[in-house]
A and B are shown apart, each in its own frame.
Chain A
Amino acid sequence: MKKENVIVAEELTKAFGDFKAVNAISFEVKKGEIFGFLGANGAGKTTAMKMLIGISKPSSGKAKVAGFDVYTQTESIKKNIGYMSQKFALYDDLTVKENITFFGGIYGLSRAKIKEKREQLISELGLEGISNKLVGSLPLGWKQKLSFSVSLIHEPKIVFLDEPTGGVDPITRRQFWEMIYKAADQGTTIFVTTHYMDEAEYCDRVSIMVEGKIEALDTPKKLKEQFKVASMNDVFLKLARNIEL
């Protein structure tokens, strides 16, 4: 069964003066897919993502997200996506409940819906005892799980995760990925950037960006075969080294 494409990019480019931060990248992401967007720091991952989520205008090229054009329909895109940034981005001085209510509110959820979501979220994350505590007092891992759940509060078609697991311990990362799988199973498309190569193995397909260009794009298994190495880490190193040579 062929699934529909929810993200399509063609020759998408972002230039700052002469410097092309993102250089004519093309790819598709299918519905329900976990798409890993890999690259070293400064390879252009975040810039590319910003164009897709509608907060940065492309210099040239085409892209559609959830069926909407990134030049003209950013408002519709925003309603259909969730986003979690590499900086932890809930409000530390609001309680768990208040954060959920606030983000539900800005996505225009009804009061009843917010209440339902809030209870569901709190019980799923096991935060019953501390739902009235300020988020600032929670451990980083919990904050990140909460942040991810909040980015899904309006049941978006696609969720963009920008280095979501930076700075958390391996166990929490593992739990975080379980949450990602669960969301993907329910039909949410996951677009995730990371520079942890072991996480790349968890993705359905990965693209590897080097200096603004997509240098490789396939399933982790095929990439490893193609480069004749045992791990994604080696794929990445090989690619990066080739570029340098």
Chain B
Amino acid sequence: MKRFIGFIKKEFYHIFRDRRSLFILFGMPIAQILLFGFAITNEINNVDIAILDHSKDATTEEIINKISASKYFTINQMIAREADIETAFKKGKIKAVLNFEKDFSKNLIKEQKATIQIITDATDPNTANSITNYINAILQNYQQSKNKGIVVEYQIIPQTRMVYNPELKSVFMFVPGVMTIILMLVSAMMTSISITREKELGTMEILLVSPLKPFQVIIGKVVPYIFLSVINAAVIVLLSIFIFKMPVQGSLFLLGAESVLFIITSLALGILISTIAETQQSAMMISLMGLMLPVILLSGFIFPITSMAAPLQIISHIIPAKWFIIIIKGIMLKGVGMAYIWKETLILIGMTIFFIGLSVKKYKIRLE
């Protein structure tokens, strides 16, 4: 035990004396969570649009006023001719153009219908979609207010309610994802790098020749990172609670326990990587390509799994991060307990055991 404490102390010296790893350990989580929370967002806010109004009558003016009054859009310019639409888009500032047909009010009264063309810049398809939806909603709303008092024979009025995140804050979606990425990064990448560093420097050989058993060496290398990852997880949760007002509906204890489980899963992956990689650089590359990319792309963090192609959906099952994101979203936003997430928890436990088993086997082969 005393040997072990000495070993861990040495590991902390390594971490605290290396500015690079200190930065990855403590700078990155805070920078990432703030970045995702403030800068990167799916929400529509103050989007610049242009208006091409062929009729310039009372109705179009009302609609234009309504749109410009919303916080979602800013009317950046009025366009006079069809030919100018393209120029407006090419300048890049305008994301949508509303094109009112000629004699808008007149058509509305005479024929009970009038047309607005919504042209959006679809170089960014998601934003284009949201813009169209938002404008449609504003128009619907306007129409309903106009139709008040008129009896329409059939009318379906959808009442939507967004539960668990009523304000549709994208930070609620990012926090679980960022937390997953950071825990993965710190646990898997940092441990695999620190183990391969000993290999590269030749100190691993010295340690293996010492009376320390190989598993003691590995545990000794891993324990400090468990400790640091737990601190990181706590910092992220605190930041999201106090800065982004993200609620933790469920039990904090359960959240902590599940985080520790995921940290251990990631560490097991890190150990596995270190049995494959011979140099720090290759450990880093494998961690980034093999862990980070799938976490970002396939875990459901940014892109919904249900809209992925079938083979990708299957692949997403083997990504531990996917299960962890489901778990923390459940605990933080829905306030669920173990009864709802036992399946995901078991999957993570199973994966951890599998990774550890595989590393032990690989390690033995290397020693033969």
Contacts and interface: CB of A to CB of B under 8 A. Distances in A.
Contacts of A89: 201-203, 205-206
Given A89-B201, A98-B13, A106-B7, A53 B209 contact: yes
Contacts of A103: 206, 210
Given A89-B201, A91-B10, A93-B13, A56 B367 contact: yes
A232 interface: no
Contacts of B211: 75, 78-79, 106-108
B42 to A, nearest CB: 43
B14 A91 contact: yes
A94 B10 contact: yes
A65 B321 CA distance: 48
Interface in A59-83: 75, 78-79, 81, 83
A87 interface: yes
Interface string B210-243: 1111000000000000000000000000000000
Interface in A84-99: 84-94, 98
B3 interface: yes
Given A87-B201, A108-B3, A55 B206 contact: no
A53 B205 CA distance: 10
B241 to A, nearest CB: 36
B209 A81 contact: yes
Nearest to A91: B203
Interface in A5-27: none
Contact of A106 (B6, B13, B17, B202): B6
Contacts of A102: 6-7, 9-10
A79 B7 CA distance: 17
A83 B202 CA distance: 12
Tell me what chain B mostly uses at the interface: helix, strand, loop, or mixed: helix
Contacts of B208: 55
A88 B202 CA distance: 7
B209 A94 contact: no
Nearest to A84: B206
B6, B201, B208, B213: most-surrounded residue (chain A CB, <10 A)? B6
Interface in B170-204: 201-203
Nearest to B200: A87
A89 B210 CA distance: 13
A90 B13 CA distance: 14
A84 B205 CA distance: 9
A143 to B, nearest CB: 12
Contact of B207 (A56, A88, A94, A106): A106
B76 to A, nearest CB: 55
B367 A105 contact: no
A94, A106, A108: most-surrounded residue (chain B CB, <10 A)? A106
Given A90-B203, A101-B6, A108-B2, 19 more contacts: A54-B209, A57-B368, A81-B209, A83-B205, A86-B202, A89-B205, A91-B201, A92-B201, A93-B13, A93-B14, A102-B6, A102-B9, A102-B10, A103-B210, A105-B2, A106-B7, A106-B207, A106-B212, A107-B211
Interface of B: 2-3, 6-7, 9-10, 13-14, 17-18, 201-203, 205-213, 367-368
6 contacts: A55-B205, A81-B209, A87-B202, A87-B205, A89-B203, A108-B2
